[in-house]
Amino acid sequence: MTKRHLAALFLVLAMPAVALGVQAEIKLDDKLSSMKKQGHVGPVIYPHAKHEKLFKCNDCHPKIFKEKRSENNINMKANMDGKYCGSPNCHNSPKAFPLYECAKCHTGVK
Amino acid sequence: MKASSTCKFSRVALLSLVVFFGFAVTTPVKEAESATPAAKAKAKTEAAAPAKSEKGTAVEPKLDPSDPSSVIYLDTSGKPAGLGDPNKPPSMAFQAGRGWHPQALSAAGLPRDRYGLIDWAKIVREKIVSPRFSLNPQDEEMPPLQMNVLIPAKGDFVDDVIYPHEMHTYWLKCEACHPAIFVPAAGQNNMTMTGIVQGNWCGRCHGKVAFPLTDCKRCHSSPKKAAK
Helix (H, G, I), strand (E, B) or coil at B189: coil
CA of residue B98 relative to chain centroid, distance: 10
Å between B227 CA and nearest CA of chain A: 9
- Of B22-36, B128-142, B199-213, minimum mean pLDDT range: B22-36
Q: B103-109, long-range: CB within 8 Å, 24+ apart, which pairs?
A: none
Measured between CB atoms, which of B157, B193, B194 is closest to A77?
B157
CA-to-CA distance for A100 and B214, rounded, in angstroms? 7
- Closest approach of A24 to chain B, Cα-based (Å): 27
pLDDT recorded at residue B45: 43
| Mean pLDDT, chain B, whole residue set | 74
B18 pLDDT exceeds 70?
no
**Per-residue pLDDT at B70 exceeds 60:** yes
Q: Name every chain A residue with its beta carbon within 8 A of the beta carbon of B197.
A: 100-102
- Tell me which residue in A33, A76, A110 faces B158 most closely, judged by beta carbons: A76
pLDDT score for B96: 65
Higher pLDDT, A29 or B18: A29
Say yes or no to pLDDT of B129 above 50: yes
Mark which residues 36-95 of A lie under 8 Å from B by CB. 37-41, 73, 75-78, 80-81, 92
A98 Cβ partners below 8 Å, 6+ apart? A91, A92, B213, B214
First to last CA, chain B: 140
From the CA atom positions of chain A, what is the Rg in Å? 18
Task: Mutate one of A38, A40, A83, A109 to test the B interface: name it (highest B CB count within 10 A).
Answer: A38
How far are the Cα atoms of A35, A89, B2 from residue B225, in angstroms, in the given order?
Answer: 18, 29, 141
Q: In this predicted model, which residue has the larger pLDDT, B125 or A40?
A: B125
* CA B22 from centroid of its chain's CA atoms: 67
DSSP category for residue B175: G
Taking the C-alpha atoms of residue B65 and residue B84, their distance in angstroms, rounded to an integer, is 11
Chain A positions in Cβ-Cβ contact with residue B151 (cut-off 8 Å): none
Q: Give me the residues paired with residue A44 across strands.
A: A28, A106
Question: CA of B189, closest CA in chain A: separation in Å?
Answer: 14
Would the CB atoms of B192 and A39 count as touching at under 8 Å?
yes
Which of A52-61, B35-44, B75-84 has maximum average pLDDT? A52-61
B227: which chain A residues are within 8 Å (Cβ-Cβ)?
77
Nearest CA of chain B to the CA of A65: how many Å? 19
Q: At residue B217, does pLDDT exceed 80?
A: yes
| Nearest Cα residue in chain B from A93 | B214
Task: Tell me which chain B residue has its CA closest to the CA of residue A35.
Answer: B155
Indicate if the pLDDT at residue B186 is higher than 80.
Answer: yes
How distant, in Å, are the alpha carbons of A93, B35, B53, B179 from that of B40? 72, 9, 20, 70
Q: Which residues of chain A make contact with B214, given a CB cutoff of 8 A?
A: 92, 98-100
The C-alpha angle A67, A70, A73, rounded to 5 degrees, equals 95
Residues of A whose CB is below 8 A from B196: 100
Name the band, by pLDDT with cuts 50, 70 and 90, for residue A16: very low
> Given an 8 Å threshold on Cβ–Cβ distance, is B216 in contact with A39?
no
The pLDDT assigned to B20 comes to 60
State which fold the B132-222 domain adopts. Answer: Cytochrome C3 (3.90.10)
CB contact under 8 A, B155 and A35: yes
Please tell me which of the candidates B155, B194, B196 has its beta carbon nearest to residue A110. B194
Residue B175: pLDDT band (50, 70, 90) is very high
pLDDT value, residue B57: 47
DSSP state of B206: B
Q: What is the pLDDT of residue B110?
A: 87
- What was the pLDDT predicted at B136? 87
Domain ranges in chain A? 23-104
Q: What is the pLDDT of residue B47?
A: 44
Q: What is the pLDDT of residue B224?
A: 81
Fold of A23-104: Cytochrome C3 (3.90.10)
Rounded to a whole number of angstroms, the distance from the CA of A35 to the nearest CA of chain B is: 6
CA distance B75 to B91: 9
Is the pLDDT at B28 greater than 70? The verdict is no
The question of ipTM being above 0.85 is answered as no
Give the number of C-alpha atoms closer than 13 A to the C-alpha of residue A5, restricted to the C-beta side.
Answer: 2
In the prediction, which pLDDT does B42 show? Answer: 45
pLDDT band per the 50, 70, 90 thresholds, residue B66: confident
Return d(Cα B60, Cα B188) in angstroms, integer.
Answer: 63
B37 pLDDT more than 90: no
